[in-house]
A = this chain, B = another copy of it.
Amino acid sequence: MQLTQALKRAVQVNRAGTATRFGDRHRTWEQFGDRVARLAAGLRGLGVRDGDRVAILALNGDRYLEFLFAVPWAGGVFVPINTRLAPPEIVYWLTDSGASVLFVDDNFTDILPRIRDDLERVDHLVYLGNDAAPAGMTHHESLIEGSAAADDAMASGDTLAGIFYTGGTTGQSKGVMLSHANLVSNALFIVPGIGFDADTNWLHAAPMFHLADGCATIGITMVAGSHCFIPRFDPDAALAAIARYRVTNSVFVPTMVNMLVNHPRLADYDVSSLRTLLYGASPMPEAVIRRAMQVMPRVAFIQGYGQTEAAPLMTLLPARYHQPDGPDADKMTSAGLAALGIEIQILDADGRECPPGTVGEICGRGPNVMLGYWNKPELTAETLRDGWLHTGDGGYMDADGFLYIVDRVKDMIISGGENVYSAEVENAVYQHPAIAECAVIGVPSDRWGEQVHAIVRLKDGADLDEAGLIAHCHALIAGYKCPRGVSFVTDPLPLSGAGKILKTELRKPYWEGQAKQVH
């Protein structure tokens, strides 16, 4: 199994068909394939050798997709960087992965001067924009124009294809190593699961650095469908792109779905081409999906559940189970059934399968399960045990094989589709001298699914208000990780027998009266 096979097939079976549409730019599969092979040659010219890491920090676009195929074509390993990270976090990811080349688009060239000195191992910067390349950067187009097509490096199977980081900097950040077989397997599960074919016209609206959209990068290419792009999600941009490109499929996180269906001018856009919307990556409020089904009655909604460690798909809730009423109504609150080639089990603490209805840890086994964490063998051994990926998610399965997720990944908060590790935010909060005790939890948010909330006890005599604590955090971590609200308490926080703060207790008052969250 080989990422580049998907591209070669698309060029062979749909040579003159549309590969990419981005703004006014349109390329056929033949053109796209030629550009990838030449970009790969350009990468080799920059010194990229088998297994070398090549990073990208950019919004969505056709060149991002070229990058994602050119790197494996050259034998390299791609490292997509979260576009919402703070500069120190970007430095950490680049340094940890040891990337030797970094691709950057116009939106991020500004931060380069601030981090350039910290990037000792990055030998080359490649500019992805439309203008002339800034000083010290090589233009993406000049790498293509200046090279003859390279031979495919033929990396495949268990060879490392990409490193996808989850989390941030403070001991929480983990580079998930995914092989060619991992990513191609996932695509093979997605294709029939969603029904991709050569007529599928995919909109890359969710960020391409994240594997929720990454499913389509390979899957749509494999079936020789078409890729359309908007740089970042915005309801008007997404609706306009759907109308303009006659988009048939996309993936949206619940906050995006929410913005679309509540958009005051939704009716002004022609979305009649839309066949299927995949949603996932964070809890979907039931009211939102019901409204989405009402306002887009011809669209089939499919829920996906997974994690980066599973490349990422683990379960799918097919459209036929989106029935708010009737005998299968309760299935709609589930995360669906095991994807095609994956084994899903709920295991107890001893690694035994839990009976239906009993909560345990959601575990998965299959060709999509990661190789491990980059440079973290202990964490890998902890996560991949007896052949099972231990997701850290709590859940149960009903007697029909439907998976219900009942708890966050340990204490992770999923806000607007982004994973926020509470421990990392707590580390930032704790750096303020006024803080005695702190716990960061996710609380319900209509906009983000969950939002980050800090519960703090100040030191005796200390003086700090909500705005002050939030500003303190903004100096240390990415904006989306910062608390959006702070509760000040005077009693010590509740502790478990083992001395850990009982976050379940802290979360309770915020979640009371809310429908049980499923994601």
Residues of A whose CB lies within 8 Å of any CB of B are 1-2, 5-6, 8-9, 12-15, 154, 157, 181, 184-185, 188-189, 191-192, 195-197, 222-223, 337-338, 340-344, 365-367, 387, 397, 399-401
Contact = CB atoms under 8 A, between A and B. Distances in A.
A6 B342 CA distance: 8
Given A367-B1, A387-B154, A341 B13 contact: no
A248 B192 CA distance: 18
Nearest to A339: B9
B222 A5 contact: no
A155 B191 CA distance: 26
Contacts of A343: 2, 5, 8-9
Contacts of A188: 185, 188-189, 340-341
A223 B185 CA distance: 16
B341 A222 contact: yes
Given A15-B399, A154-B387, A400-B13, A341 B192 contact: no
B401 A366 contact: no
A470 to B, nearest CB: 45
Nearest to A196: B192
Top 8 A-B pairs, shortest CB-CB distance: A13-B401, A192-B192, A12-B401, A188-B188, A13-B337, A191-B192, A1-B367, A5-B343
Nearest to A387: B154
A191 B188 CA distance: 9
B191 A340 contact: yes
Given A191-B192, A192-B191, A341 B1 contact: yes
A68 to B, nearest CB: 18
A418 to B, nearest CB: 31
Contacts of A5: 341-343, 365-366
A197 B367 CA distance: 21
A12 B341 contact: no
A344 B12 contact: yes
A338 B9 contact: yes
A13 B338 contact: yes
A6 to B, nearest CB: 8
A237 B322 CA distance: 40
Contacts of A365: 5
A223 B195 CA distance: 14
Contacts of A192: 191-192, 195-197, 223
